[in-house]
Amino acid sequence: MNEETLRGLGPSVFRLLEDGMDDARAAPDLRETGVVRAVSRGIARVGGLSGVIDQELIRFHDGLVGLAVDLAEAGIGVALLGDHTKLEAGQPAWRTGRAIEVPVGHALLGRIVDGIGRPIDQKGEIRAEAHWPVERAAAPIIARAPVARPLHTGIKAIDAAIPVGRGQRQLILGDRQIGKTSIAVDTLLNQRGSGVIGVYCAIGQRAAGVARVIATLRRGGMLDQCVIVVAGPEDAPGLQFIAPYAATSIAEFFMAQGRDVVIVHDDLTRHARTWRELSLLLRRPPGREAYPGDIFFVHARLLERATRLREDHGGGSLTALPIVETQAQNLSAYIPTNLISITDGQIYLSPELFHKGQLPAIDIGKSVSRVGGRAQLPAWRSIAGDLRLFYAQFEEFEAFARFGTQLDTSTRQALERGRRVREMLRQDEHAPLAASSQIGLLLATIRGWLDEVPVASLAAVEAAIVERIAHALPELCRRIEDGQPLTDDDHACLQTVVVESVRTLPPRARAESS
C-alpha cells in the first residue's frame, strides 16, 4: 500500500492503528506477595500480606493452597489444604483475593470427592454447573418455613417416637462402635425413590469404614442419588476442617433448586478435634478441654444452614444429621452439650442396650425431637403418643419387678405387652421399613393383638405382617403415605391382617406358641 493510498483512507485509519497499539501494551500484573516464615504440620506462618482478609485463599509454590484463618501483626496463620512437606520457609505466597469455593451441580451425584470437591473416585473430571463459596451465610428467618413434612428414616423407634422433619437438625450421639453411622446410612437408604438427595461427609474416618458405607449405598441403589465427601485422617487438618462446610454448600445447591436434601456429618467430634489442633498450632489461647473459644460458633454456623425454605424462596429443604461421639456415656461433655443446644433434638444410643442385643440401641427416654408430631404423618400421631407413654411405664414396671415384688394381673399384663413392644422395636441393620408397615406392626403390638404370640416368634410374625399388609392393603398403604388419618375401618382391616398373619405362623413358631 503506497503513500497516496494511505492518505486517501484519511486519519481514521491511523487513529484505529494507534488504539490497537494501546490495547497491545502490556499491563502490569499486580499481586500482593508474602514470604513463608515458618511451617508446621498443617500450618504456615506468612508475612508481608498486609491486605489479606479472613478466610481468604492463599496460593503457595507448586500449586499448594491454604486458608487464612488467623490474622495477626506478626504474620497470618494459614491452614494448608495439602501436603505441608512441599512447603519451606522462605518460599513466596500470594493472595488470590477470593474465598475458597467448591464445585456444585448435578454432575456430583454418584461421585466421591475430597474436602474441596476434587474427584477421588477415578471417574474423571466433574463438569460443575457453578462454584459456590464454602462459607455461606445461613438463610434469613424471613426465608424459612416451619418444619412440618416428615423425613422417614425407615427405623421404627425413630419414626414412631423421635420423628425427624425435613429441614430439621437431629443429632445422633453415643459411645463409639454402637451403630451411630448405621442409623444415618439407613436413613439415606430409606430415601431411595423418594426424590430426596443424600450427602455423606466423612471427617477423619478410616478408609475401610468409608468404603463400607459406599458399598452399602451402592447395594441399596442409593449411591447415584448421593454425593460422598471424604476428608480422611491422612489428609491435611485444614482439609478435614473445611470438608463439612464444602459438603453443606454442595447440598445447598440442590436445596436452592427446590429439592429436599439430607446431609450426614460423620462425625463432628473429629471435626472439633481438628479445629483444636489447628488452634493450638496457631498459639490461640485454649479454653475448656483445650478447645478454642470459638468452637461453638464453628459448629453453629455450620448447622444453622440446615433449614426448610418457603415456597417463594424455592421450597427446598436441608436436613442435617450430625454425629458426635461420647466418652463413657458422658452427655455433659463440652462438644456434646454444645451440639445438643444447637440442634433440634437428639437420638441417643445406649451402650447398655447395645450389649443386651437391643438393636438399634436407641434409648427412647433420653432421645427427643423438638419438632415432635408436626413432622409425623397423621396415622403416626394417632399411636406415637401412646407408644412413648406406654414404653416409659413399662420400663418403670420392669425396674420395679426386679425386686421380686408380687405383681397384680394388670401389671403383669403390661410387662408382657411391654416386652413385645421392645422386641418389635428391634430392627436389622440396613433394612428400613415403609411407614405403613411400621404403623401396622406397632399398632398391633400396643393394642394387644400379639399378646398370645411368644416373644421368640415375633420376628417371624413381623415378616408375615409386613408382607401381608403390602399385598392385601395397598390402598390403605397409599392413603397412609399421602397423610390421611386412620379410620375405624382401617383399624379393623389391620387387625384382620394381623390375626391372619398369626394363624400362618411357621411350624416351629406355632409349636412355640402352643
Q: Give DSSP secondary structure letters for 321-379.
A: EEEEE-STT-TTSHHHHHHHHHSSEEEEEPHHHHHTT-SS-B-TTT-EESSGGGGS-HH
DSSP state of 229: E
Closest residue by Cα to residue 304 from 504, 143, 482, 69: 143
d(CA 361, CA 182): 11
d(CA 384, CA 393): 14
Q: Give DSSP secondary structure letters for 398-464.
A: HHHHTTT----HHHHHHHHHHHHHHHHT---TT----HHHHHHHHHHHHTTTTTTS-GGGHHHHHHH
DSSP strands (E only) in 109-223: 112-113, 130-133, 171-174, 197-203
Closest residue by Cα to residue 117 from 79, 81, 152, 92: 81
Give the residue numbers marked as catalytic: 370
d(CA 345, CA 80): 34
Give the orientation angle of helix 435-446 with respect to helix 458-472, to 10 degrees.
130
d(CA 197, CA 195): 6
Alpha-carbon distances, residue 433 vs 45, 191, 319, 367 (angstroms)? 53, 11, 20, 21
Q: Would you state the cell numbers that stand for residue 286, as one nine-digit string?
A: 485454649
Cβ-proximal residues to 304 (8 Å cutoff; 6+ apart), any chain? 138, 342
Alpha-carbon distances, residue 148 vs 269, 308, 310, 315, 465 (angstroms)? 29, 9, 12, 12, 29
- Whether the CA torsion 38, 70, 199, 159 is positive or negative: it is positive
Helix and strand counts by DSSP (H, E) for the chain: 17, 16
Cβ-proximal residues to 191 (8 Å cutoff; 6+ apart), any chain? 197, 198, 222, 225, 262
Strand bridging mode 197-203 / 260-266: parallel
Beta-carbon neighbour count of residue 221 at 10 Å? 11
Closest residue by Cα to residue 165 from 5, 359, 480, 380: 380
Closest residue by Cα to residue 113 from 257, 251, 237, 272: 251
Length of the chain: 514
460 close to 506: Cβ distance less than 8 angstroms: yes
